[in-house]
Each structure stands twice: as C-alpha cells, then as structure tokens.
A = this chain, B = another copy of it.
Amino acid sequence: MSKVDPIEILKRNKLKHTKQRIRVLEDISANTTAISQPTLEKKLGKEIDRVTLYRILNTYVDKGIVHRIVDLNGTANYAICSSACSSEQHHDEHVHFNCRNCNKVFCLATKVPEISITAGFKAESISLIAYGVCKECSKQTYEVLKNS
C-alpha cells in the first residue's frame, strides 16, 4: 500500500491545491474500502459544501485520480486509483464487491477477465461488481447463529 501524498497528486494533475481538495483526497485514501458519496458528505459536510464536494469528486474522476464505482443501489462510491490511471484511461479494472448487508464496496485483488464483446460495440471500460455478503458480515452472521 503506497502512501498517498495529496499535494503531489494535485501538482501532477495541474490542480490548485485547496484545503477542500486535500481533505477529500485524505479521506478517500484513509479507507480500505471505497467510500460512498453520502458517507463522504456526512463526514465532510461541515467543512465542505455539498456542491463543492460533488465538483471535486467529478474532477478527480475525470483526471483519473479516483475511480467511481456505482453500486447496485445506484449509489456512487469512490476509491483511489492505482498509479497507472490517467484522464485518458482508467486502469481500475479489478473486481469490486458490494455487500448487500452493510452496503460497503470493496476493491478486490482479482482482475477483470478479458471478455469478447459483440461485433460493432466498442467497449472502453468494464465494471464488474460481485454482489453478496462480505467477509465481515459473513462472520457476524456466523456468530449470531452460533450464539442462538
């Protein structure tokens, strides 16, 4: 897990380094799972205006600094991109896992496999989301069963 330096990232992408932008980057990179827009807003809502937060997140996605995972509820989730990402192409093509219990979105180590697309369709990116019960929530269910 390489350390994330917000100012370095902003410089590299020719973005003004405002305290709001730094704050958002810190918050996203502090998490091991992707973080949802509502959660981010709850955490940062007193420091950063809702609209500013939306704009910062969109800028980061456009620049390839973070990637957006839309979960099966339609909620946007954000995670730091691997260093190979750029505004031209996102290389966040690993599998994501969306827990139906806690709703968290996890970035898994598994890479998205090559798939053949019907002729004529031009795929630019692939989103592969597994939906089920995450590690933590599986454990909890087990504990509940054990103690009942």
Q: Which residues of B contact A134 (CB under 8 A)?
A: 120-121
In the assembly, what is the distance between CA of A118 and CA of B33, in Å?
14
Q: Does A123 contact B (CB under 8 A)?
A: yes
Q: Which residues of B contact A116 (CB under 8 A)?
A: 110
- The total of chain A residues at the interface (CB under 8 A) is 38
Knowing A74-B75, A76-B74, the reply to whether A108 touches B131 (Cβ < 8 A) is no
In the assembly, what is the distance between CA of A42 and CA of B74, in Å?
20
Q: Does A60 contact B (CB under 8 A)?
A: no
In the assembly, what is the distance between CA of A106 and CA of B125, in Å?
15
Measured CB to CB, the nearest residue on chain B to A125 is B131
Q: Select A121's contact among B106, B126, B128, beta carbons within 8 Å.
A: B106
